[in-house]
Amino acid sequence: MVSENVLGKPKKYQGFSIDVLEALATYLGFKYEIYVAPDHKYGSPQDDGSWNGLIGELVFKRADIGISALTITPDRENVVDFTTRYMDYSVGVLLRKAEKTVDMFACLAPFDLSLWACIAGTVLLVGLLVYLLNWLNPPRLQMGSMTSTTLYNSMWFVYGSFVQQGGEIPYTTLATRLMMGAWWLFALIVISSYTANLAAFLTITRIENSIQ
C-alpha cells in the first residue's frame, strides 16, 4: 500500500511484502526501484499469446521482480518462477454464536414422535395379546394376588419388560412364552438403538443455519 504520496517525489510503499523486499536488499546488497504495472493488472494471457500486467512486465524483462498479492496459477508458472508462497487467505462469514437452550424433553429427541407413538401402541397391543393368551389358557394362580394375570398386570409386565425391569407374573404357557420371547428381542433392539442415538445426540454438536 502507498504510505506517502508527496507531489513531485516517488511514491513510498509499506506492507509485509515491502518488509521482505527490504530484508532481501539488505542481505543480498542490491538497490531497487518500485513501480506499478502500466495497466494496473496482475497479469493474464492474451489472444496473441502475450501477457499483460505484472506478469507481462516480467516476461518482457522490463522488471526483475514482481511483488504483489498474486495468485499462483499453472498458466503463470509456465512463464515465470514463483517463490514459495508465504501467505494463504480465504473469505469467511462471521456469525453470532447461537444461544444454547435447555430442552427438558431432550431425552425424546433420538426418536421421532411417530416412532414413540408406534412403540406405545405396540406395548398396549402386546399386553392385550398376553392377556388374551392367558385368558384362553389360564395358569393356576389365585385371582386378585400380586401375580394374577389381569389386563392391568399384563400391561405392566409388558411395559416392565420393555424398560428392562422384569416382572413378577410367571407365565407358564408355551404360547405366552413365545410371545414374550419375541417381545424381549424387539425391546433389546429398540433399547440398543435408542441408547446409541441418545449418545450421538448428546455428544455431537449439531450445526444449525442461523441465516438463509
pLDDT in the model for residue 53: 93
- Kindly state whether residue 7 falls inside one of the protein's structural domains: no
- Kindly state whether residue 154 falls inside one of the protein's structural domains: yes
pLDDT in the model for residue 51: 94
- Kindly state whether residue 70 falls inside one of the protein's structural domains: no
pLDDT in the model for residue 182: 87
Separation of alpha carbons 60 and 78, rounded Å? 14
| 84 assigned ligand-binding residue | no
13 forms beta bridges with 2
Q: Is 161 exposed, middle or buried (0-12, 13-18, 19+ CB in 10 A)?
A: buried
Could you please report the per-residue DSSP string of 137-169? S--S--TTSTT---HHHHHHHHHHHHTT---S-
- Kindly state whether residue 34 falls inside one of the protein's structural domains: no
Separation of alpha carbons 127 and 120, rounded Å? 11
pLDDT in the model for residue 93: 83
pLDDT in the model for residue 169: 62
- Kindly state whether residue 149 falls inside one of the protein's structural domains: yes
What's the domain range around 185?
113-203
| Residue with the three cell numbers 480465504 | 90
97 forms beta bridges with none
| 76 assigned ligand-binding residue | yes
Q: Block means of pLDDT (10 residues each) for the chain, length 212 residues?
A: 76 89 94 91 91 94 91 92 84 78 77 88 87 74 56 81 71 77 87 86 65 68
Separation of alpha carbons 212 and 209, rounded Å? 7
For residue 194, the surrounding DSSP H or E stretch is helix 174-203
- Kindly state whether residue 194 falls inside one of the protein's structural domains: yes
- Kindly state whether residue 9 falls inside one of the protein's structural domains: no
Structural domains of the chain, count? 1
